[in-house]
Amino acid sequence: MQVFKFGGSAIKNAGGIRKLAKIVKANPECRVIVVSALGKTTNALEELFGCYFEGNDGWIERLNQIKQFHLDIVSDLFGESDISLKRELEHYFSELAERLNRKPGSDYDREYDQIVSEGEIWATRIVHAYLNRQGFNTRWLDARKILVTDAAFRDATVVWKKSMKLVKREINLAGDEVSVIQGFIASTENGLTTTLGREGSDFTASILGNILDAESVTLWKDVPGVLNADPENFPNPEKLDEISYLEAVELAFFGAKVIHPKTIKPLYNKNIPLFIKSFEHPDSIGTIIHRMDWDVDMIPVYVKKDHQILITIQPRDFSFMIEQSFGQIFSAFNRCKIKINLVQTSAISLSICADSNRLRIEQLLNSLKKNFRIAFNKEVQLITIRHYTDEAIRLMTTEKQILIEQKSRHTVHFVLRDG
């Protein structure tokens, strides 16, 4: 049994959904399909949510655009023959509009999850209907009914014992039934929708692969496999044919976009291989991520994270940075849900490079300013090079000002800004 996950960049139109069906048909071992929101729907829903939460009625136009995008795909796939699916989608959009006409609650993350999660529901309803039309024996499942999490909205933690029981009860591996499930979303025990973190559909696939003891999990992407650099930032990146679980974790943690950071551990725990394959060229080899007990000569791998903030923190009384200070600072980052990407210490200061989120950074600074002096640089870049060479370092740092450099045996990190 195999688990396939299809991302929004692959199924961005009716043609993508048709190709999905061909891939599934060519792989009868696939029994679970995890589907992301179509195309750029999640981005569009985030823009809509921003308007809504700020009290801006710009959400109305954005909702109409998102609705029309989905209805156009349905028309392309079914013509005018599937009135019931259009009516179903109309109902979903009417319910969302009704919610958006009410005043939002004060918890930004909780409200976000209730609204932005809708994209996965719409996508799976369309994919499920199309696969049925093509003769597949499919069953639509609501991930919120089988994956239980805590209430850490926008970055929820899976409650494994309860989720395992529900998944095994609801997913039928006998016969030829194929389950169609949303990625990214889950729910609390009280039924409130949660999300697993941005791009969390990869994580959903690995959770299901673990629970169902899958033979393998395959992520179908718009790239030929794991590349040694993001093609949006680097010309002519090279594909890595195979990498270890450890290598994948390192790359994902430091910002490689092709894999969600939490994807690897559930698969590693059961030694389940993860394949990254090209949606456009499904017969190509792609990349396999698996347990490797041998050394492989690796070319340099580049990971670039933009929109970072470098924060330097010093005690106001000019005392040494000690464990008590560290505890206070890291607790503040945790409370504000700010992801730390790099840490550097000195006798009297602590420098942290983190994801920049204006509201959360303001909350953090307010919580620390009483006891600490704080300085920061906005819009810096965090560059990570695995298996670095001198030439790789020169390539990434030329005409840049280096604010921090950290080097270990296999990895070098730079916090940079334009020189």
pLDDT the model gives residue 396: 94
Kindly state the helix (H) or strand (E) to which residue 234 belongs, with its residue range.
Answer: none
Give the position of tokens 């990895």: 411
Alpha carbon distance 51, 101 (integer Å): 12
Does residue 336 share a domain with residue 278?
no
Number of residues that make up the chain: 419
For tokens 């000002």, what's the residue?
Answer: 401
Q: Indicate the residue among 290, 319, 354 that finishes a domain.
A: 290
CB 243 within 8 A of CB 287: yes
Q: d(Cα 195, Cα 284) in Å, to the nearest integer?
A: 32
Output the six-digit token pair for 188.
Answer: 């609390």
Residues 185 and 325 in one domain: no
d(CA 400, CA 395): 10
Tell whether 256 is covered by a domain: yes
pLDDT digits (tens, 9 = 90+) for 2-47: 999 999 999 999 999 999 999 999 999 999 999 999 999 999 999 9
Q: Where are the beta strands (DSSP E) in 291-345?
A: 301-315, 340-345
Residue 174 falls within a domain, yes or no?
A: yes
**How far, in Å, CA of 392 to CA of 409, rounded?**
15
Q: Is residue 104, in this structure, part of any structural domain at all?
A: yes
Tell me what pLDDT residue 325 has.
Answer: 80
256 and 323 part of one domain: no
pLDDT in tens, 53-89: 999 999 999 999 999 999 999 999 998 777 899 999 9
Does any domain span residue 295? no
How many domains in the chain?
2
Residues 71 and 216 in one domain: yes
Q: Please check whether residues 110 and 190 belong to one and the same domain.
A: yes
Residues 54 and 127 in one domain: yes
In sequence order, what DSSP letters do the residues of 149-171 get, joined into one string?
B-S-TTSPPB-HHHHHHHHHHH-
Same structural domain for residues 363 and 401? yes
> Which residue, 407, 419, 362, is CA-closest to 383?
407
Predicted confidence (pLDDT) per residue in 86-95, tens digit: 999 999 999 9
pLDDT for 418 equals 87
Query: What pLDDT is stored for residue 288 in this prediction?
Result: 97
Q: Which helix (H) or strand (E) holds 204?
A: helix 201-211
User: Are 332 and 400 found together in one domain?
Assistant: yes
11 and 40 belong to one structural domain = yes
Per residue in 244-284, pLDDT (tens digit) is: 999 999 888 887 777 888 999 999 999 999 999 999 999 99
| Residue 316 and residue 393 in one domain | yes
Residue 115: give the domain boundaries: 2-290
* Choice between 357 and 169, residue whose per-residue pLDDT is larger: 169
136 in Cβ contact with 122 (< 8 Å): no
% pLDDT > 90, the chain: 83
Which band of pLDDT confidence, cut at 50, 70 and 90, is reported for residue 404? very high
Q: In this structure, are residues 47 and 21 in contact, taking their beta carbons and an 8 Å threshold? A: no
Report the pLDDT averaged over residues 115-123.
98
186 forms bridges with which residues in the sheet? 194
Residue 51 covered by a domain = yes
Q: What is the CATH number of the domain that holds 175?
A: 3.40.1160.10
Q: Does 296 fall in a domain?
A: no
Q: Check residue 259 and give its pLDDT.
A: 83
Q: Domain for residue 222, yes or no?
A: yes
Indicate which CATH number applies to the domain containing 376.
Answer: 3.30.2130.10
Task: Using the 3D structure, point to which of 239, 271, 290 is the last residue of a domain.
Answer: 290
Closest C-alpha to 276, from 328, 231, 239, 238: 239
Q: Within this chain, do residues 9 and 154 fall inside the same structural domain, yes or no?
A: yes
Q: What is the mean pLDDT of the chain?
A: 93
Does residue 235 fall inside a structural domain?
A: yes
For residues 256 and 378, membership in a common domain is answered with no
From 250, 267, 290, give the residue that closes a domain. Answer: 290
The span from the CA of 28 to the CA of 12, in Å, is 24
> How confident is residue 326, by pLDDT bands cut at 50, 70 and 90?
confident
- As a whole number of angstroms, the distance between CA 223 and CA 227 comes to 8
The most distant pair of C-alpha atoms in the chain lies apart, rounded to whole Å, by: 74
